[in-house]
Structure 1
Amino acid sequence: MKLPLKFGIATLTLLGASISLTHADGDLSQLQQQVSQLEQSLKQLKNEINSIQAKSSNTTQPEAILSDGLYPEDQSEETAEDDQRYVTLAEFQGIQSDLENYKYQVQRERDTKTALSSRQLLINGVVQTKASYYDESQTTNPVGANTATAVNKRHSSFDLGAVQIGFIGNLFKDYDQGRNLDFNLRFGTSPQSGTNNSYLNLLDAQLIYNASPTLSADTGRLSITFGQQLLPFGQEVQSTEDLKPTINNALFSLPGYGYGLALREVGLIVRGDAFPTVDYGYNYRSPMISYAFGIVNGNGANKSDDNDDKNFIGRVRYTLPAEYNSWLRELSIGASWYQGKSNLFELNGTSASFAGKGDISRKGIDLYYNHHPFGLTYEYVHAEDETYVNATRDVYNRQSESHTGTLFWNLGEQFVKGFRHQGRYDDWWPKSYQTFYRFDTIDRDTNLNNQTIDIHSIGLNAFFAETTKFQLNVNHVDNAITNQKYNELVAQFQYGF
């Protein structure tokens, strides 16, 4: 408000000088005209001052406090004038130039150093490197080892376990109800038997459609998976590598000595659950009933069906409904079933001829309890396989069974979701340790002698990053089929991304 006053004083001064000059000339009429103009100027000046005062009183309340803690009347007029800042044309052009350079840098980083996809995509993987030592020289394949068949007096070995890379993404996103269409593509490689080459094999290739809404955690789920995938049989087969306590898989899941249930199959499988218990505070969801059923080719991964019969798979699991803090949390029992047919062949020297079809059957029950820090799992599988006997030219129904039980104890905060979900900088992760004991046995033919394999394992798992762990297992193997008994020390470093 200081500027209008200065302007008025200067105006009065000029007009006063003009009046003095005019009076000196003695022109009274001109003097009267100038006085009239002066009165009009003073009137306009008063109107402007009143307008400015009215605006100031409307925008500034007497009780208002400035950001620096002062009242408006405490702020000097010089400070108000200093708030008006100006930039030169050169400074403004410099800001424009810096903005254009930043836009170019961001675009260049995106074009040259960013993986792009036309849809939402998550890339993940796992790598396992391990070393093993046997207290007796090996002349045949150790149980569960994926090595060449020609072994000569070996005591130790360096190996790669699972090396996998996967791509998970979304093909259609339903914003209203969450009925999304997703995909899962995974490749893996491991040492191959009888060769020095290692191949990148297709593991998973599937489309997943969520047939029921998924936006609310307290409603049931239903999904349809079509393509190549793991079978929903038991616990061991469906567990991912980061959740398995042991380095070697359970015998019943392996091909050869076991039933090959961990191999992928091509088909259509429906999965769902119902009556979930939800605790939003702990980000916990546990359905009381979960189920899966489907139809597959039944002759392994990356293969067309070799007969006109399809194999059927089914599983149901009941979990005791319990709150997160209950000691009965995560107590469940499940049952699995797999039924189908396989081709039988009669061997004639080096050739083979088709000898019909044989029934195959897998029935299992499993128990699961995991309440930090204690955990318990158990699986029983009974299998029947019709095989062709060349000597008698008859079909023999071979029956077998397996038992797998694991006890583990967790030490550390990683297994508590409240610690895992804390926001921390960089690679902070709660250090945790897990000790376990596992008993794994299989009887390849319950009607014959010396058809059992027993493995006792103790171990320690150290989790020291979000996707990284170190495992140390000591296994005692009693293989009655090959008449071998030996101890095995295996160390494995596993990391994921």
Structure 2
Amino acid sequence: MQFAKKQRKKLLLGAGLLALAGASHAAPSNEELEKQIQSLQKTVESLTQQLRAQNQAAATAKPQAATTAAAAADTGTVPAPTAESDPANQVASRQDIDGLRADLENYKYQQQHDHDTAQALTLRNTNINGTIQARYAAETPAVSGGAASPSSPRNSGFSIPLALVSFSGSLYKDYKEGRNLDYRLQLGYAQSSPPSANAYFNVQDAYLRYSPVASGGDLENPIFNLTLGQQLLPFGLEIQTDESLRPVINNAQFLNGTGLGFRQIGLVARGDIAPNVDYASNYRAPLFEYAAGVVNGSGPNVQDNNNNKGFVARATYTLPVDYNSWLRELKVGTSYYQGGLSLQNGSTAVNPLGYDHMYGFDLYYNHFPFGATYEYVQAENKDRIGGVGKVGTKGTSNTFTAFYTWGEQFLNSSKTQAKYDDYWPKSYQTFVRWDQWNPNTGLPTSKSAKSTIATVGLNVFFAQTTKFQLNFNRYLYENAVIANPATKSDISELLAQFQFGF
């Protein structure tokens, strides 16, 4: 019926337009007028016939629809929706709109309630991360645990050697040019000395990082940033390797022997040049990387205790090859540090021999499933800072690690797959390490404190942030009486450790 009314309106409108068109011209002759009337009559008759045909079709369609619905009820099938039954053509009532508004208000209230009561609130976006290690150690012969009196040597024991919690995020996020202002705060668990029931958290990382050069979020653009605060020194490989990536449980010996493993407070600039990017493999390898900075040199959480400053610099070169090349991720680096690392807290020696010049050379290769690293460090005392050590003392360190990994956890194809029930693919890694440290190369064998640690181990990555580590260490001393006065002999050690994070 609505369609018929529309057609009648069109007929009347057409007739009116023709009448107006005739009236707007000069009066025609009788013959022309008769021709126009005949043409108009034919047009009206044609439109009338079309209207009758459409009305008949609509009249016959209704019984057919009823018959189809009855047949569908008998057979159990659902007929295709008609224009009248389509929900898109139905008009919502006032009650429907009010009900939808009520549901939306309830949803908004529940979301706000959950946000206020079940989520941590910060002024800026913040990521919270943590790493914890639970370890079991067995040694032969028995060693002292270093606990306060009374104590006795032991062959085995449990410990929590590491517990970290960190907060990081952006104070200013530049989505257009990438000039971000980021921050990081990391607290690290530490036992009291001598060990007791008391433990505390120290500030480890505490810095601001700003990117003054626009990168625009493009991986092909070079990166440059400035980091102000307490941070690790950009020296070598071992210092900058995160706990989640280091294959061995223990650090290299030179970190404590030279004091390079301690965090420093200062300003460090980092950047890279000419990055090689493979978007399909999510791979980015800069041709050159560099870092340079100035620090206090007095250690973490300590104000500068002299006018001397420490200067650190590092440069690396990555072989420019395609992603599929076997030489991918072959990197050569060199590092240099000059300055005082002799004293901490005004009295406690960081490096007892007073090294003030340190040189480093390193090789890095990691092409799944193979990988290897080598690092050489030379530490010298040239200026006798703080009256500690002897001028001319030179120490050397050689650290070599080779590992083989199999499994799917580190493959990009596995990382992008959907995972159900917190499933994560497993990976396994075997490795060997040779770590030698000689704090004074000028001494004869009878007075040498040179020590070597040979390690074989297995790592099992069975969750996204969890791995199990098993290391067997053999401590070999050139002169055990001096290098290891605790037992005056070589030591065999078995370490089993779970490392998990959140």
Give the TM-score taking structure 1 as reference length: 0.77
Residue number in structure 1 paired with 2:178: 178
The alignment status of 1:229 with 2:231, answered yes or no, reads yes
CA positional deviation for 1:88: 6.0
The structure with more strand, counted as a fraction of residues: 1
Per-residue deviation, 1:445: 1.1
1:344–1:388 CA contact under 8 A, matched in 2:
no
User: Equivalents in 2 of 1:441, 1:151: separation in Å?
Assistant: 30
- CA distance in structure 2 between the partners assigned to 1:410 and 1:77 by the alignment: 58
Q: 2:360 aligns with which of 361, 364, 380?
A: 364
Task: State how far apart, in whole Å, the 2-side matches of 1:442 and 1:412 are.
Answer: 34
Instruction: Name the amino acid aligned to 2:255.
Output: S
Query: Do structure 1's residue 204 and structure 2's residue 205 form an aligned pair?
Result: yes
Residue 487 (structure 1) aligned with residue 492 (structure 2): yes
2:461 aligned partner: 463
Partner of 2:158: 158
Change (3 A) 1:233 1:262: same
Q: Distance in 1 between matches of 2:294 and 2:385?
A: 29
* C-alpha distance in structure 1 between counterparts of 2:378 and 2:274, whole Å: 30
Aligned residues: 420
Deviation, 1:249, is 0.7
Bigger drift between 265-274 and 186-195 goes to 186-195
SS in 2 for 1:397: coil
5+ residue gaps in structure 2?
Answer: 9-43, 56-78
Alpha-carbon distance in 2 for matches of 1:319, 1:398? 33
User: Aligned ranges for residues 98-109 of structure 1 at < 5 Å?
Assistant: 98-109=103-114
**Residues in 1 aligned to 2:474 and 2:323: alpha-carbon distance in whole angstroms:** 37
Matched, 1:445 2:440: yes
Between the aligned partners of 1:337 and 1:110, the Cα distance in structure 2 is 49
In the alignment, which residue of structure 2 is the partner of 1:193?
193
The one-letter amino acid of 1:362's match is: M
2:280 alignment partner in structure 1:
281
Contact 1:387 1:398 in 2 (8 A): no
In the other structure, the counterpart of 1:35 is none
The answer to whether residue 313 in structure 2 is matched with residue 301 in structure 1 is no
- With the length of structure 2 as denominator, give the TM-score of the two structures: 0.76
- Residue deviations 1:317-369 (CA, integer Å, cap 9, x gap): 11101111000001111111111135689xxxxx99xxxx9761111101111
- Residues in 1 aligned to 2:101 and 2:289: alpha-carbon distance in whole angstroms: 60
- CA distance in 2 between counterparts of 1:77 and 1:166 reads 59
Q: 1:78 to 1:266 in 2, by over 3 A?
A: closer
Q: Which amino acid aligns with 2:133?
A: Q
Identity of aligned residues (%): 44
Contact (CA 8 Å) 1:344, 1:387: kept in 2 or not? no
One-letter amino acid of the counterpart of residue 380, structure 1: Y
1:130, 1:314 → 2: CA distance? 35
How far off is 1:434 after superposition? 0.2
* SS of aligned partner of 2:233: coil
Q: Which residue of 2 aligns with 1:382?
A: 378
SS of the residue 1:271 aligns to: strand
Following the alignment from structure 2 to structure 1, what is the Cα–Cα distance between the partners of residues 293 and 151? 40
Superposition deviation, residue 211 in structure 1: 2.1
Structure-2 change in CA distance of 1:187 and 1:323 (3 Å): same
Note the C-alpha offset of 1:99: 2.7
The CA deviation string for residues 424-457 of structure 1, in whole angstroms up to 9 with x for no partner, is: 3352222100000001110111122331111111
Task: Provide the aligned C-alpha RMSD in A.
Answer: 3.4
Contact 2:145 2:154 in 1 (8 A): no
- Give the 3-state SS of the residue equivalent to 1:418 in structure 2: helix
SS of alignment partner, residue 98 of structure 1: helix
Matches of 1:300 and 1:264, distance apart in 2: 6
> Partner residue of 1:402?
397
Contact 1:140–1:149, Cα closer than 8 Å, also in 2: no
* Cα distance in 2 between the residues matched to 1:188 and 1:270: 25
Which one is further off, 167-176 or 399-408? 167-176
In structure 1, what is the Cα distance between the partners aligned to 2:149 and 2:219?
50
Could you tell me how far 1:237 is from its partner in structure 2?
0.3
Give 3-state SS (helix, strand or coil) of 1:323's partner: coil
Could you tell me which amino acid in structure 2 is paired with residue 474 of structure 1?
A: F
Which segment is superposed worse, 475-484 or 309-318?
475-484
